[in-house]
Structures are given as structure tokens and as C-alpha cells.
Structure 1
Amino acid sequence: MRTPLAAAGLVALGVLLMANPLFLPVPVGEPDPAYTHTVQPVTDGSVAGFESPATGAGNETDGGNDSNASDAVVAYADLAPDAREAFDRARDAPEGGFGVEDPAERVDSLPYPTEPTLGDGLLIVEYDGERYEFWTRTVEREPGAVVAQRTLLQPVAFLAGFLAVVAGAAVGLRGRLGGD
């Protein structure tokens, strides 16, 4: 009588442990934002899925109404001094960009959306005859406790649950086969 009870208990414990993402508390905290600045050359006529603005004389949209192309491209000299500094730092960085974590270190003249769009978090900067994509964005990272729970606690609990189910099945089969 004890063998079926032990087998059922191990299987129940195993199922509970394997279902741990459903019941383990996920701490709801403020996201840990980082603010990134990235610069890369404009290539192949498009900018991140957007049609690249006109690239010079003869490519204007319709002579007098060239607002879409001219609004999308910003001359390096027209950037605010702090934005030029950020552009230069990102362009010179080995990975093509840099990030800051302190909101006070952001560039006041630049927006930091979570989903950049052309003109809002994505500028086309003309510098020395070349065009560059200049991205600024907010990246919201999960708090450390959530990351630790998802990478350590949940997999370990799932593995322990799986092993408990296997052990419960083994105990149950051993009892049925007369191994007691």
C-alpha cells in the first residue's frame, strides 16, 4: 500500500515542480533601462526597412515639395553640440555604438523611444559626404531577480520535477512487478 502512495506522491511533486513557471512568483519591479546610441553607414538604398531619403540633386521627390527627403536627412553641422558628441562617440566606438544607464547621461536634444522610427530615434546624418544611421533608443531590461529566477530556479525546479516523475514511475512499476 505504501508503494502506490509513494509513487503517486513523487509523480504529483514532479508535476508541480515541472509546472513551476505557472506558480513561481515573478517580481514585478521597475524595468532597468539602458539608453543606446548606434551609428552605422547607410547602405543599399534603405534604412532599416524604410526607403532611404533622396541622395542628391536629381533625386528630389517633386522639385518644390522636397520636405520628406530633406526632413529625414540632418547635416552633421545642424546637430546640437551634445548630439554631435554622441554621434562621434558612437561612430568611433569599436562596436559601432555605446550605452549609458543613468538617465542624466542621455543627450537632451535626442529622443530615446523604445521603438525608434525615422525621425524619432533614427536620424540619417550626413557627415563628410557620407550618410549614417544614428539610432538612439531605450532598452528595457528585466530586473536581476527575474533573470536569476528564469535562468536558474525554473530550470532546476523543472529538472527536479522531471526526475521526480521518473522516480515515481519507477517506484510504481517496481511495486507492480513485484519488486517489493
Structure 2
Amino acid sequence: MRTPLAAVGLVALGVCLMANPLFLPVAVGEPDPAYTHTVQPVGADAVAGLDSPAAEARNGSDLDAVVAYDDLDPAARAAFDRARDAPEGGFGVEDPDERVDSLAYPTDPRLGDGLLIVERDGERYELWTRTVERESDVVLVQRVLVQPIAFLAGFLAVVAGAAVALRGRLGGE
């Protein structure tokens, strides 16, 4: 009687451990936000793509979203210049006080809200500002260590359960 119970218990434990991505990671505390600023030239490969066929299909409504560089407030101009001159095409800040008050920082930017088309010296650029919520260190440890180890332990428990069940059928006990 113990063998079937042990086999079922091992398989059940294994399935629960293998299903750990469904219940792990457990968020501990608030997410750690960062605020990013990215600048890239508007073109066919750019996301807003004012010069793309998709923009033409919008009947030129994006032309109202173009902001002249000189119309930006000084802090926004400084952020634009810093992001444009950065080697990666942008920069991030972690302190909410370092954000530019005149710019929006949504988590899902859209044209006019976190995405501005800035015209400077005859060139058009996309200025993206967004909030990126990063996971805490505890959640990262869960994803990198706990989840894979739990999945492996679950797989081994299922295999052990199958081995116990087969041993019981083949006349072991």
C-alpha cells in the first residue's frame, strides 16, 4: 500500500515543483522604477516613422505632434541633447527628482505622451521618455536560481515517482 502512495506523492510533488513559474516569482516590495530618455532620428526604421507609409495613412495627423527644438523648455532641451549625444542613444535616471517636469514618463509611451517628434536644424528626431519598472533583487534571485532548481527537482521527483511505481509493479515489494 505504501508504494502506490509514495509514487503518487512523488509525482504530485514533482508536478507542483515543475509548475513553479505559475506561482513564482513572488513580488516582494514595490518595483524599482527608472526613467529613460531616448532620441533617434525619424526614419523608416524609427518607431513613430513619420516618413513611413503608415504615417501617410494617418492623413498627416502626426504633423501636429512635431515640436520645434527651440519650443522645448531648457530642461527638456538639455535632456534631448544629452540623450542624442549618448553613445547608446539615451540615458536613464533613477531619482524621480531628476526627471524633466515638462516631459511625461508613462510606462507605455504614445505619440504626445512620452513620445515627442522634435525638429532641430531641419532634422526630425523621436524623443522617448518612459518609466521602466525594474524587478527587485529578490525577484531576480527567484527567477535565476529558485525557479530552475525547483523545476529540476520537480522533474526528478516525477522520474522517482515513476521509478517507484514501476518497481512496485515489477514485484519489488
Tell me the TM-score normalised to structure 2 length.
0.82
Counterpart of 2:91, as a letter, is: F
Cα RMSD (Å): 2.6
| C-alpha separation in 1, matches of 2:18 and 2:89 | 42
| C-alpha separation in 2, matches of 1:92 and 1:25 | 38
Which blocks of at least 5 consecutive residues in structure 2 are unaligned?
52-58
Aligned length: 167
Relative to its length, the structure with more helix (as a share) is: 2
Cα deviation for residue 72 of structure 1 reads 1.4
Within the alignment, does 1:80 sit opposite 2:80 as a pair?
no
Judging changes above 3 Å, is the alpha-carbon distance between structure 1 residues 67 and 153 closer, same or farther for their aligned structure 2 residues? closer
**Which residue of structure 1 lines up, in the alignment, with residue 6 of structure 2?**
6
Counterpart of 2:32, as a letter, is: D
| C-alpha separation in 2, matches of 1:164 and 1:35 | 44
Specify the SS of the correspondent of 1:11.
helix
**Which residue of structure 1 lines up, in the alignment, with residue 16 of structure 2?**
16
**Which residue of structure 2 lines up, in the alignment, with residue 56 of structure 1?**
none
Deviation digits for residues 4-46 of structure 1 (CA, Å, limit 9, x no counterpart): 33323322221222233455572353221110100000113x8
**Which residue of structure 2 lines up, in the alignment, with residue 125 of structure 1?**
118
Judging changes above 3 Å, is the alpha-carbon distance between structure 1 residues 51 and 128 closer, same or farther for their aligned structure 2 residues? closer
| C-alpha separation in 1, matches of 2:67 and 2:4 | 75
Q: How does 1:5-154 map to 2 (within 5 A)?
A: 5-23=5-23, 26-27=26-27, 29-44=29-44, 48-49=47-48, 51=50, 69=63, 71-154=64-147
| C-alpha separation in 2, matches of 1:90 and 1:73 | 18
Judging changes above 3 Å, is the alpha-carbon distance between structure 1 residues 16 and 120 closer, same or farther for their aligned structure 2 residues? closer
Specify the SS of the correspondent of 1:131.
strand
Judging changes above 3 Å, is the alpha-carbon distance between structure 1 residues 51 and 89 closer, same or farther for their aligned structure 2 residues? closer
Judging changes above 3 Å, is the alpha-carbon distance between structure 1 residues 67 and 162 closer, same or farther for their aligned structure 2 residues? closer
| C-alpha separation in 2, matches of 1:100 and 1:131 | 24
**Which residue of structure 1 lines up, in the alignment, with residue 158 of structure 2?**
165
Counterpart of 1:149, as a letter, is: Q
Judging changes above 3 Å, is the alpha-carbon distance between structure 1 residues 155 and 89 closer, same or farther for their aligned structure 2 residues? same
Rg larger in 1 or in 2? 1
Counterpart of 1:16, as a letter, is: C
